[in-house]
Amino acid sequence: MNGIPSAGTTLEVARIVNVTVTDDTLSVDLEDGRTISIPIGWYPRLAYGTSAERAHFQISSAGYGIHWPDLDEDIGIEGLLLGKKSTESHTSWKRWLQRKNTCETL
């Protein structure tokens, strides 16, 4: 065999077993013992959510994603492992924030 073998990397994806959200950090515990902690500012909907809204989440049945129904936010484990921030557009974010603020004042 000549040359360099393929340098492909396989992402090891473990299931989510616990989620903790504080005013500063999103922490996700995985079934293999790892904990991923990310600044909450990476996900503006979480950052602007109330403590109650952040605490109301669902881990997907397969264990590879988290859904916050009150914030209409979904975060997958692969994105967390790869260090990806929210990709929501500024326009979408502003529209969501305006709707949220309108609902809170009613």
Q: Which residues of the chain have pLDDT under 50?
A: 1
What is the predicted pLDDT for the residue at 4?
Answer: 58
Q: Which CATH number fits domain 16-105: 3.30.2020.40, 3.40.190.170, 3.30.460.20, 3.40.50.300?
A: 3.30.2020.40
What is the predicted pLDDT for the residue at 6?
Answer: 56
What is the predicted pLDDT for the residue at 98?
Answer: 84
- The reported pTM is 0.80
Contacts 24+ apart (CB under 8 A), 86-94: 86/42, 86/43, 86/44, 86/45, 88/44, 88/45, 93/44, 93/45
What is the predicted pLDDT for the residue at 97?
Answer: 81
What is the predicted pLDDT for the residue at 7?
Answer: 57
Domains in the chain: boundaries: 16-105
